[in-house]
A = this chain, B = another copy of it.
Amino acid sequence: MAAPAVAVDNLNPKVLKCEYAVRGEVVMHAQRLQQQLQTQPGSLPFDEILYCNIGNPQSLGQQPITFFREVLALCDHPCLLEREETKSLFSADAISRAKNILASIPGRATGAYSHSQGIKGLRDAIAAGITARDGFPANADDIFLTDGASPGVHMMMQLLIRNEKDGIFCPIPQYPLYSASIALHGGALVPYYLDESTGWGLEISDLKKQLEDARSKGIDVRALVVINPGNPTGQVLAEENQRDIVKFCKNEGLVLLADEVYQENIYVDNKKFNSFKKIARSMGYNEDDLTLVSFQSVSKGYYGECGKRGGYMEITGFSAPVREQIYKVASVNLCSNITGQILASLVMNAPKVGDASYASYKAEKDGILQSLARRAKALEDAFNNLEGITCNKAEGAMYLFPQIRLPQKAIEAAKAAKKAPDAFYALRLLETTGIVVVPGSGFGQVPGTWHIRCTILPQEEKIPAIISHFKAFHESFMAKYRD
């Protein structure tokens, strides 16, 4: 009789240590309740589970952008391009775009592994899109197409982290992909706190203090993660602030890892998205001055094509030998999926004025973004109207991250239930309303404060009901636990 091959106590401890709250305890509980709703309808105080835990727009009813899907369908089944019926089924510019894309793929083979960085013609298109966005040139050789943004982040952590003394600066609160990836690669997360009282601002003086502190503990801080627009916090960084960050990374020799996946999601008139590359170049900093990675994804924006797993990273300021190592790691996984690659090229080169699809494309895009802005505002106002809750504006991204001042009694009840207080709150919310949110403890927060992250993604007609259910729950929770 052999010993059991694998048990939890002989697994890689880095795997055990890793946590990913966006699909953690609350979500697993929600899945169980969803199953219960199917097998025993009417057994719960709500009829459906509302997944506000994850930035997954199409799961909540957002429709894909027609033009993008037309092009994907034609590239999946190029025979369609030879048929007469296709002209009445697809828009003219989708047909010509699909033809151009197929012409840029060696052998028109959408079923072949591509170059490990992605199809050259698609990278050219993306580089052109970045150039148009920033007003500074981008190069196809700097683009690595990836299955969503996550694999790019993992690749960078894998490259930079040698051992537990290598540190990565992360904002707190942060998107837990970063903490999970750092844990999986065995490094140290060095926190810097975003200041809730100034709309989740980033203080360079705090960065400096944290850096000194980490260095005094023997941590070699290698990179700084910045998420702009912020996740879970929703702030859009001011240009001035971005310049400070760029200067700080340059002076301290840190790689700047810029999570820019929400670049299309901006909901306020007085802010706009500036890529860190644009900021750096406009300061006169070139490849010799700053090592910079920008992550982009087809999962976010107004397109929200999470299931397609498309994305890219643009790397600049790396030496040729280091780039070879990045290429090698990319090549071990052969390439990212071609559908995602095509979609990444489309979102960076959407229809333009004069294109046959432009009017309908623009109507779809504006409809989604304007509705998201209204939803963000409605939810923000609702949170701010509740006892003990304050919520910063979502200037961008897809989330609100309200702070909940939990009564001491609730904190004690959570302790008795062996839960973090905000997890306790989120589980009660789920069990009462079917609304799934992520406890702030999954993102990190100033000790002693409690938050939840709630997406702004439920369809607009559902928002009033969500608000009223949330309000009723919160009031009864506070009534029960008020000190």
Contacts and interface: CB of A to CB of B under 8 A. Distances in A.
Pick the most buried of A66, A148, A252: most chain B CB atoms within 10 A of its CB.
A148
B307 A109 contact: yes
B114 A337 contact: no
Residue in A11, A74, A76 whose Cβ sees the most chain B Cβ within 10 Å: A76
A195 B254 CA distance: 50
Given A8-B321, A79-B66, A250-B2, A337 B59 contact: no
Given A20-B331, A318-B6, A77 B73 contact: yes
Interface string A126-150: 0000000000000000000001101
Interface in A183-221: 184-185
Contacts of A8: 319, 321-322, 325
A85 to B, nearest CB: 4
A16 B333 contact: no
B15 A159 contact: yes
A160 B11 contact: yes
Report which residue of A2, A58, A112, A340 has the largest number of chain B beta carbons within 10 angstroms of its beta carbon.
A112
A107 B64 CA distance: 12
B306 A147 contact: no
A265 to B, nearest CB: 16
Interface string A291-316: 10000000100001111110000000
A16 B5 CA distance: 30
Given A2-B253, A58-B112, A109-B58, A325 B23 contact: no
Nearest to A3: B253
B72 A77 contact: yes
B76 A162 contact: no
A121 interface: no
A222 interface: yes
Pick the 8 closest A-B CB pairs, nearest first: A2-B253, A59-B112, A73-B77, A307-B338, A309-B337, A23-B331, A58-B111, A85-B85
A253 B337 contact: no
Contact of A70 (B7, B77, B111, B308): B77
Nearest to A343: B111
B340 A337 contact: yes
Nearest to A70: B77
Interface string A232-251: 00000000000000000111
A58 B113 CA distance: 8
A56 B112 contact: yes
Q: Which of A20, A61, A113, A338 has the most CB of B within 10 A?
A: A113
A96 interface: no
Interface string A432-444: 0000000000000
A88 B85 contact: yes
B11 A159 contact: yes
A335 B307 contact: yes
Contacts of A77: 69-70, 72-73
Interface string A46-57: 000000001011
Interface of A: 2-8, 10-16, 18-20, 22-23, 54, 56-61, 64, 66, 69-70, 72-74, 76-77, 79-80, 83, 85-86, 88-89, 106-107, 109-114, 116, 147-148, 150-151, 154, 158-162, 177, 180-181, 184-185, 222-223, 249-255, 291, 299, 304-309, 317-319, 321-322, 325, 328-329, 331-340
A275 to B, nearest CB: 19
Given A8-B319, A8-B321, A319-B7, A333 B2 contact: no
Name, among A15, A86, A151, A252, the residue most crowded by chain B CB atoms within 10 Å (CB to CB). Answer: A15
A455 to B, nearest CB: 12
Contacts of A116: 23
Contacts of A10: 162
Contact of A5 (B74, B113, B254): B254
Contacts of A80: 73, 89
B308 A111 contact: yes
